[in-house]
A and B are shown apart, each in its own frame.
Chain A
Amino acid sequence: MPHLAVNELRARYGALDVLKGVSFSIEKGQVVALVGPSGSGKSTVLRTLVGLTPATGGNVMINDDRIDFASTASLRRARDQIAIVFQQYNLFQNMRIIDNVTVAPTKIKKRPKAEVRADAERLLAMVGLADKLQAFPDQLSGGQQQRVAIARALALHPEILLLDEVTSALDPELVNEVLDSIRQLAEDGMTMVLVSHEMAFVREIADQVVFMDGGVVVEHGPPAQLFDNPKTDRARNFFGKILRH
């Protein structure tokens, strides 16, 4: 039984069909990387999984439990298990860093304050921001905000973590730090769906790569197979361009 199974998922923005039937599945503790050209719908897949973009077709199962996107209760249950790190971080601008991380665990998950606080401080230290607890988001650099967003997602103790291009705003040194954290999470058995342009990283960490283009999955498989022996022209074209540098 896969931990997360996405089956023929469809979504649209207004009249624009963005996802035209996307399928993939992940076992518990696996890492799936979504790759593909800009605008291919990678972010939309993640947004749909947490119910921010309504699914117009297909289905999503978590542990064989089907998410009913029309039911608030079902969506709530899904969001309880999934945490997302947005491409644009989306930290709460009116809250200090520490509150950004603790607000949902205390207010929504109703965990004890002291425990959440200690957890948050540990997570922020892990991403190298122990000295920024009292800062506001826009006093931080893009990379720092990105790391806060990761800590905020982890503080929710999710079973499935969705990461949208978490390294795109980071300096090269920081990329390694963040990638190390993600690697650690993978070793600890967190189920992850990540969108990334870092092919070297994807190759190292992902159990499975899903190549998307134009709202459909063109090809998927283990990284070695996809990167070195793509079956489709589109994939060969894409990886050929990206892997050259």
Chain B
Amino acid sequence: MDRIIEQIPRFFTADNMVLLLQSAGLTLAMTLVGCVIGFVLALVLVFLRQTPGKWAIPLRIICVTYVEVFRRIPFLVVIYLVLFFIQTVATNASLFTIAVISICIYAIAYTAEIIRGGLESVPTTQMEAARAMNFGRLRTMLTITLPQAWPIIIPPAIAFAVSFIKDTALVSQIGVFELTFRGKELNNQGYSGVLVFGTIALCYFLMSFPLSMLGQYLEKRLATPRGQRTSRKIRRT
């Protein structure tokens, strides 16, 4: 206990804080880049998954399997698979790239389900009207269904990304200089574990908590619609 208190002034130096700040930035950057790319690819996956017709059955099976499988494999295992797979094909890939690819692979599986749920909440008659006017499937999705599904898709997608900030802690294992890795490093340098990991936990908290509040706020904002939806309800009565 005394040792911890004695270490406090030595630990909270400007140098250490800058290091932590940089690592926190890296954590956020990885999550953001991975989840954004993952989200876009998830849109593609959902689009492919909805391909109609007999010939597309294998394609649909692949898409469903992808989502099911990657939701059942630990992120840590995905990281190792990506790391060693990439290293056999492209030996000079940076660890950051490997981390981002792992996050992507995971984010695709989770956000694809969110996107699918959102799209399915749009009445099919909207798609039928588009089809009757010769809209293609892609155009229908981009101009008709997705715009109507955003309020349902965005809040849980943000919630996923925010909660993934924490899961990126696992990429410390392959040596990316993110927050958790720094923590282990400082701990190895002899700083107290209570001090180091308490501070690191606080750093994660300071990133995760405000963002999750923001997500909840957005959810409420999107749930209270612009003038339109309320009037739809009134008319039905």
Do A and B contact each other directly (Cβ–Cβ < 8 Å)? yes
Q: Which residues of A contact B (CB under 8 A)?
A: 47, 50-52, 76, 79-80, 83-84, 86, 88, 90-94, 103-104, 107-108, 136-139, 141-142, 156
Residues of A within 8 A of B126 (CB): 90, 92-93
Min Cβ gap A57→B in Å is 19
Asked if B3 lies at the interface with its beta carbon under 8 angstroms from chain A, I say: no
Min Cβ gap A219→B in Å is 29
Min Cβ gap A185→B in Å is 18
A141 CA to B134 CA, complexed, in Å: 27
Known contacts A94-B148, A138-B232; decide if A52 and B135 are in contact (CB<8 Å).
no
The reply to whether B131 and A141 form a contact with Cβ atoms under 8 Å apart is no
Which of B7-15, B40-48, B65-73, B223-231 binds A? B223-231
Asked if B188 lies at the interface with its beta carbon under 8 angstroms from chain A, I say: no
The reply to whether A79 and B134 form a contact with Cβ atoms under 8 Å apart is yes
Which of B29-37, B139-147, B212-220 binds A? B139-147
- Cβ contacts A to B, 8 pairs, < 8 Å: A50-B132, A79-B133, A79-B134, A90-B125, A92-B129, A94-B147, A94-B148, A108-B134
The residue on B at minimum CB distance from A156 is B133
Min Cβ gap B97→A in Å is 37
Given contacts A92-B130, A108-B133, 13 further A-B contacts (CB under 8 A): A52-B128, A52-B132, A79-B133, A83-B132, A84-B132, A86-B128, A93-B228, A104-B134, A107-B139, A107-B143, A108-B135, A136-B227, A138-B232
The reply to whether B134 and A139 form a contact with Cβ atoms under 8 Å apart is no
The reply to whether A86 and B129 form a contact with Cβ atoms under 8 Å apart is yes
Residues of B within 8 A of A76 (CB): 134
Taking residues whose C-beta sits less than 8 angstroms from the other chain, chain B's interface range is 20 to 34
Known contacts A90-B126, A94-B144; decide if A138 and B228 are in contact (CB<8 Å).
yes
The reply to whether A141 and B139 form a contact with Cβ atoms under 8 Å apart is no
Contact of B144 among A52, A92, A138 (CB under 8 A): A92
Residues of B within 8 A of A52 (CB): 128, 131-132
A54 CA to B191 CA, complexed, in Å: 71
Residues of B within 8 A of A156 (CB): 133
Min Cβ gap B146→A in Å is 9
Question: Is chain B's binding surface mostly helix, strand, loop or mixed?
Answer: helix
Min Cβ gap B140→A in Å is 10
A137 CA to B125 CA, complexed, in Å: 14
User: What are the 10 closest A-B residue pairs judged by CB atoms, nearest first?
Assistant: A90-B129, A138-B232, A94-B147, A104-B133, A138-B228, A50-B132, A136-B228, A90-B125, A79-B134, A94-B148
A104 CA to B143 CA, complexed, in Å: 11
The reply to whether A138 and B134 form a contact with Cβ atoms under 8 Å apart is no
Residues of A within 8 A of B133 (CB): 79, 83, 104, 108, 156
The reply to whether A104 and B135 form a contact with Cβ atoms under 8 Å apart is yes
Residues of B within 8 A of A94 (CB): 144, 147-148
Min Cβ gap B72→A in Å is 33
The reply to whether B231 and A90 form a contact with Cβ atoms under 8 Å apart is no
Min Cβ gap A96→B in Å is 11
Residues of B within 8 A of A91 (CB): 129
Residues of B within 8 A of A138 (CB): 228-229, 231-232, 235
Min Cβ gap A68→B in Å is 15
Residues of B within 8 A of A108 (CB): 133-135
- B194-237 vs A, Cβ < 8 Å mask (1 yes, 0 no): 00000000000000000000000000000000111101100100
Interface centre among A76, A86, A90, A137 (most CB of B within 10 A): A90
Residues of B within 8 A of A104 (CB): 133-135
Min Cβ gap B13→A in Å is 54
Residues of A within 8 A of B227 (CB): 136, 139
A138 CA to B134 CA, complexed, in Å: 24
The reply to whether B235 and A141 form a contact with Cβ atoms under 8 Å apart is yes
Residues of B within 8 A of A47 (CB): 128
The residue on A at minimum CB distance from B140 is A92
Min Cβ gap B126→A in Å is 6
The residue on B at minimum CB distance from A75 is B134
**Cβ < 8 Å to A, chain B residues 100-124:** none
Min Cβ gap A69→B in Å is 13
The reply to whether A93 and B134 form a contact with Cβ atoms under 8 Å apart is no
Known contacts A76-B134, A94-B147, A108-B135; decide if A88 and B228 are in contact (CB<8 Å).
no
The residue on B at minimum CB distance from A80 is B134
Min Cβ gap B180→A in Å is 42
